[in-house]
A and B are shown apart, each in its own frame.
Chain A
Amino acid sequence: MTARKALQEARLILIGIPVALWTLVPIYHMFLFALSSKDDAFSGRLWPAHPTLNNFRIVFEEKHYFLNHFWTQLGNSLVIAIAVGVITLAIAAAAAFAISRLKARGGRLLMNCALFTYFIPAAFLAVPMYKAMGVYGILNTQWALILAMITLASPYAIWVLKQASDKLPFELDEAARIDGASPLQLFRLVYVPLMVPSLVAIGTYALLLAWNEYLYAFLLLSNDKDITLAVALGHFLSADDSPWEILMATGLVYALPPAAIYYVFRRYMVSGLTAGAVKA
């Protein structure tokens, strides 16, 4: 019996090792480069001969042509991500509340509009969106990116929040009404407190979506002082002899906050974001 168990464990490990390697090697490679001097990075070693934090010093002191506005761009990424997170949350919570709890007229239609938007491949909407932003005269401003990301994030946000709202007992609403609560009081005092886990998941989702976005950011922004860090990373590719070790150090700085946020809110994220899917 124990022999069979050991065999089973061995078989699992045989699956586990390739999975771990597949998952971690590209990320490890990023670490490796970030800690290497240029010579070490290009040597093909699996660990640098002389690990160094010099790349990070160059990044933080903006000591490279590609990084002249590093701190500004990091700030842009942050401001845009927070704006998208907060505004998406407000729009989606209001819509989900109206659709699910107030049974507002047209709510179903709007839900379908949202779902339709959710299913348009993002790269296909990018081209018309780019042209429309030109017409509205906000191309190359950060509002263009914020509004575009709100458009991309709200459909899923509304969908998830509506699913979660439908599960709250309606007796609560009725009780509040009988006590004479106004719709806004119901929203503020009953709905929002009960929805906190879903709201946290959705706010985080929208924030990460905006922080991670590359395509829309690189289409809608062009000025070096306006672009997000994602676009700045893409600029490294424009040179043939890019300083890859510095690129990877910058990339690591850029990748850490979303990974950290994800792990902090992991419990909310997994249950909140997969709930809708499983039902389907």
Chain B
Amino acid sequence: MSTIALPQSEPAVPTGPARKGLTTWQRWGLVLLAPYAAVFVVFVVYPVVYGLWLARHPQSYVNLVNDPIFFGSVVNTLIFLIVAINLKMAVALALSGFFVRTNAWIRWLSVLFILPWAVPSIPTILSLRFMLNPEWGIVNQTIFKLTGADGPNWLNDRWLALSMAMAVHVWKSLPFWTMILIAGRLSIPAEHYEAAGVDGARTLQKFRYITWPALRGLYLTSLILSMIWTLGDFNSVYLLTGGGPADLTHVLATLGIRYLRLDQVDLSMATIVCALPLVLPLVYFMMKRLSK
């Protein structure tokens, strides 16, 4: 019985609930899928359905829109996504070209360059937070020593603090995306560049006609994926500014958690539902790309 060939395709005719018809192999297939299926149902499906049910009251959305913090958070989130992610990916693309060089010192630098991604966020973001402390932080003390002038109060101004949070995000995740794009660049056959070199192509031309066409798909995938994940980036904002000053630097992720901490679960879920029009198209796009 167990010698029936495995890679048979699914029967064209629906077989119906023919449980008896399952071979040992098929049964084992279901058994081995079961643990993840259980995790998915219990810890994804049920929470999501329950959460949406909690967010069913129209009044929650009225309260949410009336909360002045909400609108600011939406703006901050969009700025974060559009500015920080595009900046990060463009820098990652450029740096991947730097790190594929074979000089020994660049190899060593690439090992160190991974550090922000390899170490946990909490201690490093807190370290950055103190660096930016207006009185005692090393940044402003250095500015004072060099110029005699007081540095800005980095985390006490909405736009400055938001920029710093974006910088922290870039600092933390740049190595990962650079690594992905390095892998992409390394999969381009070297002969293409050699041939172009023989034809007298300049660096920019090589990039435009060889590197970019090969990397475009990967770059776009990375950009979308990074946007989705950044929507869920709680640490960069929360650990650096805590949403302050005066709740002006919240993004949707920290706002949702803020409501949860204030025991306003309906508002918390409503915030997340409001982010769905942003998330779902991106998720749909990614699913289509990756589940091929």
Contact = CB atoms under 8 A, between A and B. Distances in A.
Q: Do A and B bind each other?
A: yes
A219 B221 CA distance: 31
B65 interface: no
Contacts of A20: 109, 112-113
B123 A274 contact: no
A44 B141 contact: yes
A268 B130 CA distance: 35
Interface stretch (B56-64, B177-185, B205-213): B177-185
A202 interface: no
Interface stretch (B28-36, B82-90, B154-162, B190-198): B28-36
B5 A119 contact: no
Contacts of B126: 233, 236-237, 247-248, 251
B147 interface: no
Given A105-B26, A131-B47, 16 more contacts: A26-B116, A26-B131, A29-B138, A95-B32, A106-B37, A110-B37, A121-B275, A128-B48, A170-B6, A177-B3, A183-B28, A212-B121, A234-B122, A237-B126, A251-B124, A259-B118
A274 B180 contact: yes
A278 B218 contact: yes
B106 A12 contact: yes
Contacts of B101: 12
What are the 10 tightest A-B residue pairs by CB atom distance, in nearest-first order?
A121-B232, A104-B29, A251-B123, A44-B141, A128-B51, A123-B253, A128-B47, A183-B28, A132-B47, A98-B32
Contacts of A130: 260
Interface residues of B, number: 101
A230 B122 contact: yes
A110 B36 contact: yes
Interface in A1-45: 9, 12, 15-16, 19-20, 22-27, 29-30, 32-33, 42-44
Interface in A93-107: 94-95, 97-99, 101-107
B149 interface: no
27 contacts: A19-B95, A19-B98, A26-B127, A44-B141, A44-B145, A46-B138, A91-B39, A102-B26, A104-B30, A105-B30, A111-B291, A114-B36, A115-B286, A117-B40, A123-B234, A125-B44, A125-B232, A127-B265, A128-B50, A132-B43, A183-B25, A212-B120, A212-B121, A214-B121, A219-B260, A251-B124, A252-B123
B29 A103 contact: yes
A112 to B, nearest CB: 6
Given A95-B33, A105-B30, A121 B120 contact: no
Contacts of A127: 51, 256-257, 260, 265, 268-269, 272
B187 interface: yes
A158 B51 contact: no
Given A230-B120, A254-B120, A29 B127 contact: yes
Contacts of B230: 121
A239 interface: no
Contacts of B10: 105
A104 B32 CA distance: 9
B51 to A, nearest CB: 3
Contacts of B37: 106, 110, 113
Contacts of A115: 286-287, 290-291
Contact of A274 (B115, B183, B257, B287): B183
B2 interface: yes
Most buried by B among A46, A94, A112, A147: A94
Contacts of B123: 30, 233, 247-248, 250-252, 254-255
A135 B50 contact: yes
A29 B30 contact: no
